């Protein structure tokens, strides 16, 4: 799979940009704050219909603007696909595939996969369980459309249930029958999501462990486990047992939305016992496993986005990644850096298909 070109209108710090890409390596070079990462985020948006960094779509509109548009042309085998994402202030965003709007936005997820390796990846280790659930839900959703539909439905019913619990408290009444109706809808979805997460880790963990050994050259044993109340338990019964607590807190306190993915090194939490270097190796191995599993399931390689890795990683880890580039492990690559000389030195002899772009204050142009 290739992204042949990218067009932007009023996206983040860009008024207007039109870029044609190399089929192999594309380098965005510029000072910090110039807009390099925003170009990676635009590519991410085309794939996932959302920013990798902003939770609100409206934050992607350039300051003072009324709308944004991101447009890209993909090539898979011999077929061309044009994807357009846009948002006007106060309106719903639109996503078009070959000028036709999707009936459901979720139908787009997984069609044009992307993997982003970013300095913020260690947040997966440092932050709470919500970050890890989001990451794995996004990954599994790109591979399994049924899982995505179940997740959307689960979150919708969960929102209704939480709203009802709040309503009970505000209006000082309780309708157990109504609550049970929502429970009956929530239970099978929660159980299916938990089963899918466990099944996914069975195939994912060995691939992750292989990449950790390669990237780190170390002998500590790493793994990740799924921590959930559901497997082996009766979800309906758990909801009934938590009813009083849920009413007091005005939210649902049991279910797959409370689960976690536990990152371990020698049976200890990586968050507390892993060095900074070990934590970086851990999340890079996660992303490389993400890439490999996605490639195998989708039968084409995702786009790989590398944000400021030459600044943030030590020489050993950079060398390992570049060896994988040289071995054509990856397909099309997009990377950012602040120094052209450093980029050229690291990429020397890796490919004849390298295109370099100068990024400066929201403008982008080809170098050379």
**Contact indicator for 36, 364 with CB cutoff of 8 Å:** no
Determine the average pLDDT of the residues in 123-142.
Answer: 95
Name 329's Cβ contacts closer than 8 Å, sequence gap at least 6: none
Sequence ranges of the binding site for ATP: 30-37
Asked if residue 327 has pLDDT above 90, the reply is no
Predicted pLDDT of residue 117? 92
Sequence ranges of the binding site: 30-37
Say if domain 122-299 classifies as CATH 1.10.3720.10. no
For the chain, what are the domain ranges?
1-113+300-368, 122-299
Alpha-carbon distances of 122 from 53, 156, 175, 277, 341, rounded to whole Å: 14, 29, 44, 11, 27
Asked if residue 177 has pLDDT above 80, the reply is yes
What values do phi and psi take at 260, rounded to 5? -145, 155
Determine the average pLDDT of the residues in 258-271.
Answer: 95
**pTM to 2 decimals?**
0.91
171, 174, 179, 181: CA torsion to nearest 10 = -110
- Comparing CA positions, the residue from 367, 368, 366, 364 lying closest to residue 8 is 364
- The domain made up of 1-113+300-368 has a fold known as Rossmann fold (3.40.50)
Asked if residue 131 has pLDDT above 90, the reply is yes
Determine the average pLDDT of the residues in 67-91.
Answer: 95
What is d(CA 54, CA 314) in angstroms, rounded to the nearest whole number? Answer: 28
């Amino acid at each position: 799979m290739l992204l042949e070109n990218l067009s932007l209108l009023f996206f983040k710090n860009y008024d207007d940009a039109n870029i044609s890409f190399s089929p192999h390596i594309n380098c965005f070079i510029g000072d910090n704050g110039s807009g390099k990462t925003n170009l990676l985020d635009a590519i991410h948006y085309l794939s996932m219909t959302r920013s990798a960094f902003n939770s609100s779509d409206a934050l992607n509109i350039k300051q003072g603007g009324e709308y944004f548009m991101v447009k890209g042309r993909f090539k898979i085998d011999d077929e061309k696909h044009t994807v357009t994402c846009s948002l006007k202030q106060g309106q719903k965003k639109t996503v078009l595939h070959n000028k036709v709007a999707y009936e459901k936005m979720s139908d787009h997820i997984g069609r044009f996969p992307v993997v982003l390796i970013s300095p913020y990846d260690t947040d997966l280790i440092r932050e709470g369980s919500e970050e890890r659930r989001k990451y794995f839900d996004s990954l599994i959703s790109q591979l399994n459309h049924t899982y995505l539909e179940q997740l959307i439905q689960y979150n919708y019913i969960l929102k209704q249930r939480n709203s009802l619990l709040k309503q009970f408290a505000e209006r000082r009444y309780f309708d157990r029958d109504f609550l049970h109706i929502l429970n009956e809808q929530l239970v099978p979805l929660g159980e299916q999501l938990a089963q899918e997460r466990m099944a996914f880790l069975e195939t994912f963990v060995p691939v992750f462990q292989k990449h950790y050994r390669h990237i780190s050259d170390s002998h500590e044993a790493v793994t990740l486990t799924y921590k959930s109340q559901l497997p082996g338990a009766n979800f309906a019964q758990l909801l009934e047992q938590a009813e009083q607590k849920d009413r007091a807190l005005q939210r649902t306190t049991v279910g797959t939305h409370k689960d976690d993915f536990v990152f371990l090194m020698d049976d200890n939490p990586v968050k507390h016992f892993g060095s900074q270097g070990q934590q970086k190796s851990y999340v890079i191995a996660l992303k490389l496993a993400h890439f490999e599993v996605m490639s195998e399931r989708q039968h084409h390689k995702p786009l790989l986005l590398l944000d400021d890795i030459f600044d943030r990683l030590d020489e050993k880890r950079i060398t390992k990644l570049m060896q994988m580039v040289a071995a054509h492990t990856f397909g099309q690559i997009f990377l950012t850096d602040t120094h052209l000389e450093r980029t050229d030195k690291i990429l020397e002899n890796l490919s004849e298909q390298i295109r370099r772009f100068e990024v400066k204050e929201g403008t982008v142009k080809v170098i050379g």
